[in-house]
Amino acid sequence: MHSKSTHDIAAPFSRRGVLAATAGLMLGLASISGAKAADDTIKVGVLHSLSGTMAISETTLKDTILFLIDEQNKKGGVNGKKLEAVVVDPASNWPLFAEKARELITKDKVSVVFGCWTSVSRKSVLPVFKELNSILFYPVQYEGEESERNVFYTGAAPNQQAIPAVDYLMKDEKVKRWVLAGTDYVYPRTTNKILEAYLKSKGVAQEDIMINYTPFGHSDWQTIVADIKKFGSAGKKTAVVSTINGDANVPFYKELGNQGIKAKDIPVVAFSVGEEELAGIDTKPLLGHLAAWNYFQSIKSPENEKFIKAWQTYTKNPKRVTNDPMEAHVIGFDMWVKAVEKVKSTDPDKVIDALPGIEAKNLTGGTSKMLPNHHITKPVFIGEIKANGQFDVVWKTPGLVAGDAWSKELDGSKDLVGDWVGKKCGNFNTKTNKCLGSGS
């Protein structure tokens, strides 16, 4: 991979360093102001790529956390202390994520980190958080099969996104034939494994499931779209469940539109296409295709309207969109603040123990709760793409869905539960009554 050589150019200036130096030069009080600032603030680490391939998605999340810290400081901070963001740039480079995480925890002494997007970046920082005993809030929908003591998963687990979406298509659109199309990496592969098992348990035959993987950034979709068209002409209603990752989506949808596959013939339901991604696409050919998320900007609720307004004022851009992982950060941040206020300390052990059970309002009018498995409860929405790049909610779950750390559909994981309150274990086997422990 090329990414190794990005190390040296990507190392950003430390914001605090520059600030402190400037202040010191101006006032001649460098040492005093520097020392005081460190004691009076609680530091919050932001570990999102600001350069490289993932910058497209992660930059917004960095802005979200800065925005939330700004809002919290206006309310007087936490426990009488102001919050201070420490932003680093892991540059879409997985090993660099681990280095930067270590730097945040040991050098900058942050109390909590909000960060990561791809599963591989999360896996890369996991050992660091365990070793140094710190807290990571991870805001993106992911493949599940994980529950770690130091990580809080505020994005959707597969049972909070993929399974309800398939249910909707099965019941409402009467879909009988399924194309599972994804980018070739861990999230789509695991999700599709879960979906395949789920579909078979619902009586879908093997020949009615087509699974297809493409490389990252795949741009020539002619053959695959033609294959989907062919697969869809077997006289049964067909749908595409897409775990295609960010960049490859634009050419995929363009090809669908150009080959004349309309949503009303073969709908595509996507798990990684949100408002932010649609901002770069001409949405006309996408009309009616679906996405499953726990939040849409178009959902009407007082909380959401207030948030959107404040966000657009903060970013000074009246057109700036909001999306699902942003909401996950809003919930996670709120939960962390509440936990810290509850135990009146930022000590990681105390905060980790305090977090399960904490409730926070989500932006769609409900209240999400942190569960003992470190996942949260969320509502699930299915939205249809509208011509203006927003979504029209066509279906939602009746209540909030609790996130499963371990999928009930897979043989290897259906007996496992994560429970950091009672069992103090992330992978407790309910059949054998044993904790498998780390490393599994």
**Residue 262 vs 414, nearer CB to another protein:** 262
Of the ranges 50-58, 329-337, 373-381, 420-428, which one interacts with another protein (CB under 8 A)? 50-58
Binding of residue 315 to another protein (CB under 8 A): no
Toward another protein, which CB reaches closer, 131 or 305? Answer: 305
Do residues 253 and 289 make contact, with C-beta atoms less than 8 angstroms apart?
yes
Decide if residue 173 touches another protein (CB under 8 A): yes
Helices marked H in 217-281: 222-231, 246-258, 275-278
102 burial via Cβ count (<10 Å: 0-12, 13-18, 19+): middle
For 388-401, give one letter per residue: b (16+ CB within 10 A) or e. Answer: ebbbeeebbbeebb
Distance in Å, CB of 304 to another protein, minimum: 18
Structure-token pair, residue 397:
């779950």
Cα three-residue angle 71-151-270, rounded to 5 degrees: 80
Give the residue, chosen from 247, 324, 327, 334, that forms a contact with another protein under the rule CB under 8 A: 247
Which of 108, 227, 303, 359 lies at the binding interface for another protein (CB under 8 A)? 227
Q: How far is the CB of 163 from another protein (least distance, A)?
A: 20
Candidates 34, 189, 213, 429; binder of another protein (CB under 8 A) is 213
Please report whether residue 148 would count as binding another protein according to CB under 8 A.
no
Stretch that binds another protein, among 45-53, 71-79, 99-107, 157-165 (CB under 8 A): 45-53
Q: Which is nearer to another protein, 250 or 402 (CB)?
A: 250
Residue 212 in contact with another protein, rule: CB under 8 A: yes
Contacts of 254 by beta carbon, 8 Å cutoff, 6+ apart: 281, 285
Sole binder of another protein in the list 127, 215, 422, 437 (CB under 8 A): 215
Which tokens in the block code for residue 275?
Answer: 């408002």
Asked if residue 31 binds another protein (CB under 8 A), the reply is no
Applying CB under 8 A, does 76 fall inside the site for another protein?
no
241 binds another protein (CB under 8 A): no
Among 40, 70, 131, 172, binds another protein (CB under 8 A): 172
Residue type, 185: Y
Burial class (CB in 10 A: 0-12, 13-18, 19+), 28: exposed
Q: What is the CA radius of gyration of the chain?
A: 22
- How far is the CA of 407 from the CAs of 13, 83, 97, in angstroms? 42, 37, 27
Q: For residue 22, which amino acid is it?
A: T
Minimum distance from CB of 164 to another protein (Å)?
16
**Are the C-beta atoms of 135 and 129 separated by less than 8 Å?**
yes
Q: Is 224 among the residues that bind another protein (CB under 8 A)? A: yes
Footprint (CB under 8 A) of another protein, residues 410-429: none
Residues comprising the chain, all counted: 440
Q: Which of 398, 393, 390, 381 is nearest to 293 (CA)?
A: 381
Q: Which of 281, 286, 339, 351 binds another protein (CB under 8 A)?
A: 281
Q: Should residue 72 be labelled a site residue for another protein when binding is judged by CB under 8 A?
A: no
* 218 counts as binding another protein under rule CB under 8 A: yes
Q: Does 223 bind another protein (CB under 8 A)?
A: yes
Residue 82 binds to another protein (criterion: CB under 8 A): no
Instruction: Check binding of 157 to another protein (CB under 8 A).
Output: no
Among 41, 53, 191, 304, binds another protein (CB under 8 A): 53
Q: In this complex, which beta carbon is closest to another protein, that of residue 2 or of residue 75?
A: 2
User: Is residue 279 involved in binding another protein (CB under 8 A)?
Assistant: yes
Q: Does 205 bind another protein (CB under 8 A)?
A: no
Q: Tell me which amino acid residue 398 is.
A: P
Task: Judge contact between 157 and 175, C-beta under 8 A.
Answer: no
- Residue 341 is a binding residue for another protein (CB under 8 A): no
d(CA 37, CA 88): 19
Closest CA to 359 of 374, 372, 345, 370: 370
Q: Where are the alpha helices (DSSP H) in 219-323?
A: 222-231, 246-258, 275-278, 302-314
388 binds another protein (CB under 8 A): no
Sign of CA dihedral 377, 70, 61, 323: positive
| The binder of another protein chosen from 32, 35, 234, 436 (CB under 8 A) | 234
Q: What is the enclosing helix (H) or strand (E) of 177? A: strand 177-183
Query: Which residues sit opposite 179 in a β-bridge?
Result: 210, 240
Binds another protein (CB under 8 A): choice among 258, 367, 438, 440: 258
* Binding region for another protein (CB under 8 A): 2, 5-6, 9, 50-51, 53, 55-56, 59, 172-173, 184, 212-215, 217-220, 222-224, 226-227, 229-230, 232-236, 247, 250-251, 254-255, 257-260, 263-264, 267, 276-277, 279-282, 285, 288, 384, 392, 394
